């Protein structure tokens, strides 16, 4: 990473940490981060959003996915990876450790496959990658914002090679059924219940619409999209301190 990018990334992390900080809830502990090794993990406040690796900035979601990656994907240096974001600790780790890393962001105003500011644009419902391009696909907190998730899962299955694995996180209530919050009808968003938005660092403003709250039936959705095996993996106790470990969804193409 060029020095200026590194310093602006550090500054961005420091700003976001300052915004989250509640001084009376601040705590820290020595841990091994799956991306950067022995580190201090900070709790900036008492919720999942307040967890950060001091060295690489990994969140509770990233730490959970990183541990699952280390467990299920040996020999990363022999694998071609696809990650649906172009920034953050997971993207940096894949760029440094995998044989190749195709990183992208979704931009509604750009055609899939086009590039702006060195970042490739991809729509997970219409990927421009060739069939069987990758051994590993990862994404975090994306699929709940995708209107047609079955189409997206089918696309992600298409770009995986036989034997490839997909690891991802979504907000997940394992014991419940998926709750559809919104859908697209003739190209227009129709909300089925009160709309919910998540903030998005790329877009800022009012946030990005949540199309559904996933439940344990996400496994059945993945099998319906063509995956041969899918399961929900809980990271080991201690992988993420203070009990903020996040379930990671895993799916394999045979
Ligand atoms: Zn780290």
Task: State the residue for tokens 């699952």.
Answer: 68
Per-residue model confidence as pLDDT tens digits over 48-86? 999 999 999 999 999 999 999 999 999 999 999 999 999
CA–centroid distance, 222 to ligand 1, in Å, is: 30
Lowest-confidence range among 150-159, 189-198, 220-229?
A: 189-198
What is the rounded distance in angstroms from the CA atom of residue 146 to the CA atom of residue 210?
A: 8
CA–centroid distance, 58 to ligand 1, in Å, is: 5
pTM of the predicted structure, to 2 decimals: 0.91
- 6-40 burial by CB neighbour count: b if 16+ within 10 A, else e? eeebeeebeebeeebeeeeeeeeeebebbbbeebe
Asked whether residue 150 carries a pLDDT value surpassing 90, the answer given is yes
List of domains in the chain: 76-252 (3.40.50.150)
Across the range 124-146, mean pLDDT stands at 97
**pLDDT on residue 205:** 65
CA–centroid distance, 242 to ligand 1, in Å, is: 16
Q: Give, in degrees to the nearest 5, the angle at Cα 195 between 193 and 200.
A: 150
């Amino acid at each position: 990473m060029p020095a200026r990018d590194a310093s602006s990334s550090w500054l961005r992390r420091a700003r976001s940490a300052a915004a989250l900080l509640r001084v009376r809830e601040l705590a820290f502990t020595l841990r091994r981060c799956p991306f950067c090794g022995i580190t201090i993990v900070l709790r900036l406040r008492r919720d999942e959003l307040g967890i950060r690796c001091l060295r690489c900035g990994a969140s509770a979601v990233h730490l959970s996915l990183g541990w699952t990656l280390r467990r299920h994907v040996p020999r990363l240096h022999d694998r071609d990876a696809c990650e649906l974001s172009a920034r953050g600790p997971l993207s940096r780790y894949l760029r440094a450790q995998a044989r190749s890393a195709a990183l992208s962001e979704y931009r509604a105003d750009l055609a899939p496959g086009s590039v702006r500011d060195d970042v490739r644009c991809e729509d997970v419902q219409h990927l421009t990658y060739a069939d069987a391009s990758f051994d590993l696909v990862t994404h975090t907190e994306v699929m709940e914002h995708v209107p047609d998730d079955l189409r997206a899962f089918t696309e992600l299955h298409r770009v995986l090679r036989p034997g490839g694995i997909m690891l991802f996180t979504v907000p997940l209530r394992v014991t419940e059924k998926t709750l559809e919050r919104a859908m697209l009808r003739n190209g227009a968003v129709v909300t089925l219940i009160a709309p919910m938005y998540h903030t998005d660092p790329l877009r800022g403003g009012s946030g990005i619409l949540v199309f559904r709250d996933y439940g344990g039936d996400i496994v059945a959705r993945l099998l319906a999209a063509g995956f041969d095996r899918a399961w929900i993996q809980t990271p080991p106790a201690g992988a993420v301190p203070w009990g903020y470990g996040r379930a990671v969804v895993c799916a394999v193409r045979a």
